[in-house]
C-alpha cells in the first residue's frame, strides 16, 4: 500500500477524469503517460467508470489508475473488482474507509476541517484529500493544518491549476495534487490527445518549478578565488567571503579551489527534491550518496540539497529545495 502512495508522490499530479465513453479510455491513458502523468482518478460520476478503469489499465499496465467520487461501499467494491489501485471520496464515509482498510486498498477520503481530519487519524489514515481545496483556503489552510496534524499529507483537489500548482507542490505536507484541467470533457470528447499531452507536460514543468539559483565557479585556490570575485565587483557584484567560497551577489559562488564539476556547479532550485529525483531518473540522473542535506532529521524529513551524478557542459548540478 505504501508503494502506491510513494508513486503518487513521485508523479505529483493525479488527473481527475470524468469519462462518458469507455472506448476513449485507452487513448486517454496513452496521452496522459506521454505527457508525464502516468496516473488517473476515474470518477464514479459516469456510468462507464468501471469499464474505463479496466481499459486504461489494459492500455497502460504500469499506470496508476484509481477510482474517485466513491460514495459508498457498493461503489468501492465495484472499483476494486475493476482493478482500481486506490479509492478517493469527496467526503469522509467511515464505511468506505473500513472497507478499504480491510481489503488493503489505499484510500484518501475528502476532508475540509479539523474534525474530519481527526476522524481519519483515528482510523489510522495518513493521506487525505482536501476538497474543495481552493474554496476552503488552498495552500494556506494546508499550512495551517500542518501545525496540529504534522503526520498528515494531503492531495488538494478543486481549483488546483497550472497557475497555482507550484505553491501547492512546494509544501512539505503535500502528497500530490488532483486536477481536471488537463482532462476537461471537451478535450476527451473531441479526442484532443496531443493537446492533453501538452497540457500535462506544461503542468509537470510548473509542478517542479526548476530554475537556476546560482552558478558555482571552480578556481585554483583562495587567492585565485579572491581575484575572480574582485573582478566581478567591477560589474557591481558585491562579494561575501565564506569559509569555502565567495559569493559575488547571490548569483555566483566562487569556489576556493576545485569543487564538484569540471568547471563548477549549477544550483537548481525545485519545489520537491524527492519528486524531482523521480522525474530526472528517466533521463539518466541519480543522486550522489553522501551529498544529501535534510530539512530536519536525516532520512525522516524532506531533502534540502543533493548533488546529481551527471555533469552538464562541465558543470555538476545540485538540487535545492525552494
End-to-end CA distance of the chain: 29
What is the rounded distance in angstroms from the CA atom of residue 303 to the CA atom of residue 77? 38
Q: Which of 24, 41, 54, 253 is catalytic?
A: 41
Residue with cell 535545492: 320
Residue 129 among the catalytic residues: yes
Residue 41 among the catalytic residues: yes
What is the rounded distance in angstroms from the CA atom of residue 255 to the CA atom of residue 21? 59
Q: Which of 24, 54, 85, 129 is catalytic?
A: 129
What is the rounded distance in angstroms from the CA atom of residue 26 to the CA atom of residue 247? 52
What residues are annotated to the active site? 41, 129
Amino acid at each position: 500500500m505504501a508503494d502506491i502512495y510513494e508513486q503518487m508522490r513521485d508523479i505529483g499530479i493525479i488527473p481527475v477524469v470524468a469519462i462518458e465513453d469507455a472506448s476513449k479510455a485507452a487513448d486517454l491513458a496513452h496521452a496522459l503517460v506521454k505527457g508525464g502523468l502516468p496516473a488517473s482518478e476515474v470518477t464514479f460520476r459516469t456510468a462507464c467508470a468501471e469499464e474505463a478503469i479496466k481499459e486504461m489499465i489494459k492500455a497502460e499496465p504500469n499506470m496508476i489508475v484509481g477510482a474517485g467520487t466513491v460514495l459508498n461501499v457498493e461503489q468501492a467494491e465495484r472499483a476494486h473488482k475493476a482493478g482500481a489501485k486506490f479509492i478517493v471520496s469527496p467526503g469522509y464515509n467511515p464505511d468506505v474507509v473500513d472497507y478499504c482498510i480491510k481489503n488493503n486498498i489505499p484510500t484518501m477520503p475528502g476532508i475540509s476541517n479539523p474534525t474530519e481530519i481527526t476522524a481519519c487519524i483515528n482510523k489510522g489514515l495518513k493521506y487525505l484529500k482536501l476538497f474543495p481545496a481552493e474554496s476552503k483556503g488552498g495552500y494556506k489552510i494546508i499550512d495551517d493544518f500542518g501545525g496540529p496534524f504534522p503526520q498528515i499529507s494531503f492531495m488538494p483537489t478543486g481549483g488546483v491549476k497550472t497557475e497555482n500548482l507550484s505553491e501547492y507542490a512546494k509544501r512539505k505536507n503535500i502528497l500530490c495534487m488532483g486536477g481536471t484541467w488537463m482532462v476537461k470533457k471537451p478535450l476527451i470528447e473531441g479526442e484532443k490527445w496531443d493537446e492533453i499531452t501538452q497540457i500535462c507536460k506544461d503542468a509537470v514543468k510548473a509542478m517542479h518549478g526548476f530554475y537556476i539559483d546560482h552558478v558555482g565557479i571552480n578556481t585554483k585556490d583562495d587567492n585565485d578565488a579572491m581575484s575572480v570575485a574582485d573582478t566581478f565587483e567591477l560589474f557591481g557584484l558585491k562579494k561575501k567571503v565564506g569559509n569555502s567560497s565567495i559569493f559575488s551577489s547571490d548569483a555566483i559562488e566562487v569556489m576556493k579551489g576545485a569543487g564538484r564539476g569540471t568547471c563548477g556547479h549549477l544550483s537548481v532550485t525545485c519545489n520537491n527534491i524527492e519528486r524531482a529525483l523521480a522525474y530526472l531518473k528517466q533521463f539518466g540522473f541519480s543522486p550522489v550518496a553522501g551529498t544529501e542535506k535534510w530539512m530536519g532529521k536525516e532520512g525522516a524529513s524532506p531533502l534540502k540539497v543533493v548533488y546529481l551524478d551527471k555533469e552538464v557542459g562541465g558543470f555538476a548540478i545540485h538540487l535545492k529545495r525552494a
